[in-house]
Amino acid sequence: MTRHALILADIEGIIGVYDKAQCTPGADAWRQARHLLTDDVNAAARGLLDAGYHAITVGDMHGTGFNILPEKLMAEVRCVQGHRWHPVPLIGTMPEADCAVMVGWHAAPDQEGFSPHIFQKTLRKLCINGSPVTEVELFSAVLGEHGIPVSFVSAEAVACDRIQGNMPWIHRFDVPKRPISQTEINTLRARLTDEVRQVASGSNTTPLVWGPHEVTATFPDETRTWTSPSATTTFRRLLADTALGFAPDAGIPLLLFILRTRCRMEEWTRKRQPPAARG
């Protein structure tokens, strides 16, 4: 039987990323950080393949969703870039998957950490049924509604503390947020592969399912509380109110289409450049 796995990747929690310029699309430091991100994704994919998975889909979740270098991914890995609005916000059509791992994530905005946020800085704190959460729990609950369990997360320690508090079964991989040598990067990345392999080999994790839940979202000028029927509904509303708050709801799918098209053109231009000029 073919076993499928899903990797959702962000950039702030990637091994070797410690400066905000590395997370800013278009910056020279970001062009170099794309290689770090791609290498971490390959490391996680290698662990999944070693554990017996045969096909891997990767969702590029940072910014506009064009950060990973697809041409440098392993042959068994399919990368989905650019965000959609339907049927699942940011993800689009949910890939077939028996498990998911989350690579390179970050702390929530009410925590002390490297670039802590949920979607954008306008959301200062998010609680589900009274418990503060990070983006990882949000994504995990959306995946849970499709029967996909999340068993592994790599992020800085403060983020992992909260994530593990809300998802006690998850295997955490703490990533330092400071300058580190290439030797330390290589050592950590080898550990990442090994720990993903161990977790994926014996994972019987239950998907995270919230069901109807109470949401408390704190913004600079107000705190909003409402009851939501599902994680996907919560996810869509928070995205519409924060990262996409400047666009009318009906225009969001068109906006994301335009962003995808622009980014694909930029990537096409990049790939036509001589290798030395690509960064």
Mean pLDDT across 101-106: 98
Q: Tell me if residue 78 falls in helix, strand or coil.
A: strand
pLDDT at 156: 98
Mean pLDDT across 248-261: 91
Q: How confident is the model at residue 203 (pLDDT cuts 50, 70, 90)?
A: low
- Return the exposure string of 232-247: e unless at least 16 CB atoms fall within 10 Å of the residue's CB, then b: bbbbbbbbbbbbbeee
pLDDT at 270: 86
Angle between helices 28-50 and 182-201 (to 10 degrees): 40
Structure tokens at 216: 């408390």
Whether 53 has a pLDDT exceeding 90, the answer reads yes
pLDDT at 247: 77
Q: Tell me if residue 27 falls in helix, strand or coil.
A: coil
- For 216-243, how does the pLDDT look when each residue is reduced to its tens digit (9 = 90+)? 999 999 999 999 999 999 999 999 999 8
Would you say 173 and 195 are in contact if contact means Cβ atoms under 8 Å apart? yes
Would you say 100 and 148 are in contact if contact means Cβ atoms under 8 Å apart? yes
Q: Tell me if residue 215 falls in helix, strand or coil.
A: strand
pTM of the model: 0.95
Mean pLDDT across 181-209: 94
Whether 109 has a pLDDT exceeding 70, the answer reads yes
Q: How confident is the model at residue 277 (pLDDT cuts 50, 70, 90)?
A: low
Radius of gyration of the chain (CA): 18
- For 110-134, how does the pLDDT look when each residue is reduced to its tens digit (9 = 90+)? 999 999 999 988 999 999 999 999 9
pLDDT at 177: 97
Mean pLDDT across 155-163: 98
Domains of the chain in start order, with CATH, are 4-277 (3.40.50.10780)
Q: Do β-strands 223-228 and 213-218 pair in parallel, antiparallel, or remain unpaired? A: antiparallel
Distances from the Cα of 23 to the Cαs of 13, 65, 105, 190, 201, in angstroms? 10, 12, 12, 23, 32
Whether 187 has a pLDDT exceeding 80, the answer reads yes
Distances from the Cα of 32 to the Cαs of 45, 176, 188, 260, 271, in angstroms? 21, 18, 18, 21, 15
According to DSSP, the residues that pair with 215 across neighbouring strands are 128, 226
pLDDT at 278: 62
Alpha-carbon distance 13 to 135, whole Å?
A: 12
pLDDT at 279: 64
Which one is predicted more confidently, 44 or 273? 44
Indicate the average pLDDT of the chain.
94
Helix (H) or strand (E) holding 272: helix 252-272
Whether 106 has a pLDDT exceeding 80, the answer reads yes
Whether 205 has a pLDDT exceeding 90, the answer reads no
Q: Which of 43, 16, 12, 15 is nearest to 25 (CA)?
A: 12
Share of the chain above pLDDT 90, in %: 88
